[in-house]
Structure 1
């Protein structure tokens, strides 16, 4: 876990799938993601993706963003990690409707 002043980043766990499904059911969230098209994903697809994110993979790490009050608000990830060249891609998205309006 990574702790900051306002948020905590914790590794994704399989139980996160329901919260992510709720977020990804919102076209405003889904359409901005590389895998999205503005069309909500099915529960089975989200559950399978989260299962994969929760497993250790040397080329990617996935975190759930948690506000200081304990409420999950989104996700962040490092992917296409290349340790030998010290390079990775970074992604972040907010799914919480209240936080999207700020």
Structure 2
């Protein structure tokens, strides 16, 4: 019996051998706004947590979320507004990034 030689697997040949093309959105523009979604989401969460907690604190003497944790740690009442303002700033940054990516 003759010894068998191992066969090397052949790699499939593709017609395109150049660089990988950039993924494009349906409108033909480059896709690269994946960081905008989480930034906008985090901004919206902080907006609701900050200003919502300030409203509930003034109306019902209770706070919730991030602001409640900050209040429990001894932070002053105005930190609710700072958290809400930070949320507004993140939403503005996300909008700016989105507009810059859509620019021609």
Write 1 or 2 for the structure with the bigger share of strand: 1
Q: What is the TM-score with the length of structure 2 in the denominator?
A: 0.25
The structure that has the greater radius of gyration is: 2
Q: What is the TM-score with the length of structure 1 in the denominator?
A: 0.25
Write 1 or 2 for the structure with the bigger share of helix: 2
More contact order relative to length (CA 8 Å, sep ≥ 6): 2
